[in-house]
């Protein structure tokens, strides 16, 4: 790489903690208005000097290993978990299900699938945004060798990327916990609809995995189908909190990392740390601070799309 190691640069980022206002009422007599929520943390416009450094990074490195996380999907309307003010944890007391709880408890599986059933039509229809499309285009032009995402929303595939590993699985697939049966999530939606013809609930908020908020009363009576092959319990093919990414998937990603010249990362620590050990050049784009900041040759704190749209290849 011809670019020398640059000091980490950070734009001053304003993280607002005003939270999310779904409803706005200006005068008590006016009807309630739905305000489209933004899940992108506020920050200042990207610094042109940072863009120039990233352009140089891209110009001098081919075969990129790209790693994305929740930050890339917030512009599609999907919140992340942890961003201050706008992430799920800041706005809701809902927390993602733990793997062991899901496996052990029928009640928790019922709650999970009822909420997922309500969230699915909306969650599955989120479109990819300009960042997903640019990375897909970069793959077609030979710049991206492999893309790894922590997201379970399938938006990189929807944008046309092929060389993708979904590190934490996908909400678009369902598996049996007892046998090797798998089915598309859309098929399960049909089964759930057939099993629950008179059950109905709605929710406005949505989590990064398609989860929504329902009361216990709303969940009562919701029926969950068993595996059509063995009668076992069905689970989305997502690596839940408290579970581990399968070892062969991690090794596969390490092999793709070995093949790459440089790393462009939007999220994730484990593979950045490995790339750092291998002395690969690392560029990091993320609003706010991350654990990996001091491993990156270049850190840009700005919106993914704003940065990517300014890069020419």
Q: Is 243 annotated as a binding residue?
A: no
Examine residue 230 and tell whether it contacts Zn ion (CB under 5 A).
yes
Q: What DSSP state is assigned to residue 98?
A: B
> Residue 252 and residue 8: Cα distance in Å, rounded?
30
Please state whether 59 falls in left (phi above 0), alpha (psi between -120 and 50) or beta: alpha
172 is catalytic: no
Span interacting with Zn ion, options 192-200, 208-216, 221-229, 256-264, rule CB under 5 A: 221-229
Examine residue 288 and tell whether it contacts Zn ion (CB under 5 A).
no
Q: Which of 276, 310, 308, 304 is nearest to 288 (CA)?
A: 304
Q: What end-to-end distance do the CA atoms of the chain give, in Å?
A: 17
Span interacting with Zn ion, options 82-90, 116-124, 209-217, 219-227, rule CB under 5 A: 219-227
Span interacting with Zn ion, options 39-47, 70-78, 223-231, 285-293, rule CB under 5 A: 223-231
Q: Is 13 annotated as a binding residue?
A: no
Q: In angstroms, what CA-CA distances link 105 with 95, 174, 232, 270?
A: 16, 18, 13, 31
What the block records as the tokens of 230 is: 């063995």
Closest CB to Zn ion among residues 159, 227: 227
Annotated catalytic residue within 132, 145, 156, 168: 168
Of 206, 224, 227, 265, which lies in the binding site for Zn ion, with binding defined by CB under 5 A?
227
Q: Which of the residues 156 through 185 are near Zn ion (CB under 5 A)?
A: 176, 178-179, 181
Tell me if 43 sits within 8 A of 302, measured CB to CB: yes
List, as one string, the DSSP characters of 130-196.
HHHHHHHHHHHTT-EEEEEE--SS-HHHHTT--SEEETTEEEEEEEESSSS-EEEHHHHHHHHHHH-
Span interacting with Zn ion, options 69-77, 144-152, 227-235, 289-297, rule CB under 5 A: 227-235
Examine residue 225 and tell whether it contacts Zn ion (CB under 5 A).
no
Per-residue contact string for residues 178-217; x = within reach of Zn ion by CB under 5 A: xx-x------------------------------------
Interior angle at CA 158, CA 65 and CA 249, nearest 5? 45
Examine residue 85 and tell whether it contacts Zn ion (CB under 5 A).
no
Tell me if 8 sits within 8 A of 292, measured CB to CB: no
Q: Is 17 annotated as a binding residue?
A: no
Q: Report the catalytic residues.
A: 168
Residues flagged as binding site for Zn(2+): 176, 179, 227, 230
Binding site for Zn ion (CB under 5 A): 176, 178-179, 181, 227, 229-230, 232
């Amino acid at each position: 790489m011809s670019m020398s190691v640059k000091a980490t640069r950070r734009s001053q980022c304003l993280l607002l903690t005003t939270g999310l206002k779904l409803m706005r009422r200006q005068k008590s007599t006016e009807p309630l208005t739905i305000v489209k929520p933004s899940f992108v943390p506020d920050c200042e416009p990207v610094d042109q000097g940072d863009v120039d450094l990233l352009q140089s990074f891209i110009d001098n490195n081919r075969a990129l290993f790209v790693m994305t996380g929740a930050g890339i999907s917030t512009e599609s309307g999907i919140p992340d978990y942890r961003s201050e003010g706008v992430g799920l944890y800041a706005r809701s007391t809902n927390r993602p299900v733990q793997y062991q709880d899901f496996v052990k408890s029928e009640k928790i599986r019922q709650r999970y699938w009822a909420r997922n059933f309500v969230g699915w039509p909306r969650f599955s229809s989120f479109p990819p945004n300009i960042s997903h499309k640019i990375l897909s285009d970069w793959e077609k032009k030979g710049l991206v060798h492999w893309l790894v995402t922590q997201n379970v929303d399938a938006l990189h595939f929807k944008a046309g990327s092929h060389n993708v590993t979904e590190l934490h699985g996908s909400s678009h697939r369902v598996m049996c916990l007892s046998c090797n049966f798998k089915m598309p999530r859309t098929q399960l939606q049909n089964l759930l609809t057939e099993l629950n013809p008179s059950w109905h609930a709605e929710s406005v908020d949505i989590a990064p995995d398609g989860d929504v908020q329902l009361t216990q009363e709303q969940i009562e009576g919701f029926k969950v189908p068993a595996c059509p092959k063995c009668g076992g319990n069905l689970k989305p093919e997502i690596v839940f909190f408290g579970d581990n990414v399968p070892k062969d998937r991690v090794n596969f990603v390490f092999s793709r990392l070995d093949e790459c010249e440089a790393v462009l990362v939007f999220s994730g620590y484990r593979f950045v740390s490995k790339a750092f050990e291998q002395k690969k050049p690392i560029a990091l784009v993320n609003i706010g601070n991350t654990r990996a900041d001091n491993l990156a040759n270049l850190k840009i704190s700005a919106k993914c799309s704003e940065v990517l749209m300014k890069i020419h290849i």
